[in-house]
Structure 1
Amino acid sequence: MGHRSAARHDAGHSHEEPPAEVTYDRRWAGDLRSAIRCSAVLLGILLLVDWGADSLTIVRGTLWTGLAILLFLVLYPARVTAGEGWLASRGLLRERRVRTDVLVSVRCLDGVSQRLRLRDAFGGRVEINPQVLLNNPDLWHRLNEDAHKSDACGSLTCGATALRQISKRIDRETASPVSKMSDLD
């Protein structure tokens, strides 16, 4: 029975070339643990303070639990993955995917937290934190390579400047630890 599912899985790939490698955000699990820890600490502190004040009731305990769950939902990190020609960001409820080999625009959005918005020719749209690319050079390499393909084929009409800025930032931040280790600073 395992052969049928493997055959179905391989049906989308040509027999001449192996399936492309998928790259994952290496820090996602740690970020998830941090979100859980922060929510649990908040819940513990709220329950402890209420218990110490002798005002803990089932209603208040439920309220504090709801608040901790809300904090977890806000802090839940999106899981970013990429392969040849695509990038996906999976949140709690759904996954958004963009074809990186036919990108139309790449924009840096500033605000409370900086975001990078990618849009493809088919209407797919993904927003990710640029820090994910800084923390995962393999993800950046995959995106950058496919973005160059988009630029070369003429589909990337807006975003070459944003990509150059991110590239410079990544080069600067990856060069900094190397120069510190070799005492070049």
Structure 2
Amino acid sequence: MERRYEGRHDAVHPHLDPPAEVLHDRRWAKDLRSAVQCAAVILVLLLLIDWGADSLTAVRGALWAGLAVLLFLILFPPRVTAGEGWLASRGLLRKRLVRTDLLVSVRCVDGVSQRLVLRDVPGGRVEISLQVLMNNPDLWHRLDEDAHRSATGGSLTCGQTALLRLSERIDRENARTVFKVSGLD
């Protein structure tokens, strides 16, 4: 069952304040274009190689197209949005939502792609790439602000150290970017 945070501000509750600003991952469109381009390049290369070897058939062409679609599905970037008290990640098939003002745990997961796993009191769970937060300081600021609210309210029982480390890392990366842009690198 999908929980909808947006629904609390619809026409059913006209007396409520209008929703606060919704923040989006600014690089999502670029990442989506990259996923499409990678899949298209693989498809073209496979078709050209097969055609050059004189072994291209309709079945093989469909196989290569299926492989390109599979690559696109793997590379498809989730669209991350946030507002006051919530953060959502929308993939191809499902949208996951977490109440950032009611966080229970925050965990950093290392690996090829470092991820942040957020869990809230109602049971919501969102997993987002740390790179999304580094590329979007406004998203990070919104999450950090709400996480502090969770900690103050007593719901955040696990992950304050992870948030502190992440905050230091993002501040370091932002300072490095400022120095690089200003020529002080």
CA pair 160-182 structure 1, distance change in 2 beyond 3 A? same
Report deviation, 1:112: 2.2
Q: Percent identity?
A: 71
| Distance in structure 1 (CA, Å) of the matches to 2:171 and 2:40 | 37
CA pair 120-44 structure 1, distance change in 2 beyond 3 A? same
| Distance in structure 1 (CA, Å) of the matches to 2:103 and 2:15 | 24
Q: How does 1:24-173 map to 2 (within 5 A)?
A: 24-173=24-173
Report deviation, 1:113: 1.4
Stretches of structure 1 that go unaligned for 5 or more consecutive residues are: 1-7
Secondary structure of 1:134's counterpart equals helix
What letter is aligned with 1:168?
E
Task: Give TM-score, length-normalised by structure 2.
Answer: 0.91
Paired position in structure 1 for 2:3? none
| Distance in structure 2 (CA, Å) of the matches to 1:92 and 1:181 | 35
| Distance in structure 2 (CA, Å) of the matches to 1:102 and 1:19 | 18
Report deviation, 1:183: 4.8
Report deviation, 1:11: 3.7
Task: Give TM-score, length-normalised by structure 1.
Answer: 0.91
Report deviation, 1:114: 1.0
| Distance in structure 2 (CA, Å) of the matches to 1:100 and 1:10 | 24
Secondary structure of 1:138's counterpart equals helix
Instruction: Describe the superposition over 1:142-177 as per-residue Cα deviations: whole angstroms up to 9, x where unpaired.
Output: 100100000001100001111111111111111012
| Distance in structure 2 (CA, Å) of the matches to 1:21 and 1:13 | 18
Secondary structure of 1:93's counterpart equals coil
| Distance in structure 2 (CA, Å) of the matches to 1:136 and 1:76 | 18
Paired position in structure 2 for 1:174? 174
Q: CA RMSD in A?
A: 1.4
Paired position in structure 1 for 2:5? none
When the two structures are aligned, how many residues end up with a matched partner? 177
CA pair 85-12 structure 1, distance change in 2 beyond 3 A? farther
CA pair 37-156 structure 1, distance change in 2 beyond 3 A? same
Paired position in structure 2 for 1:4? none
Stretches of structure 2 that go unaligned for 5 or more consecutive residues are: 1-8
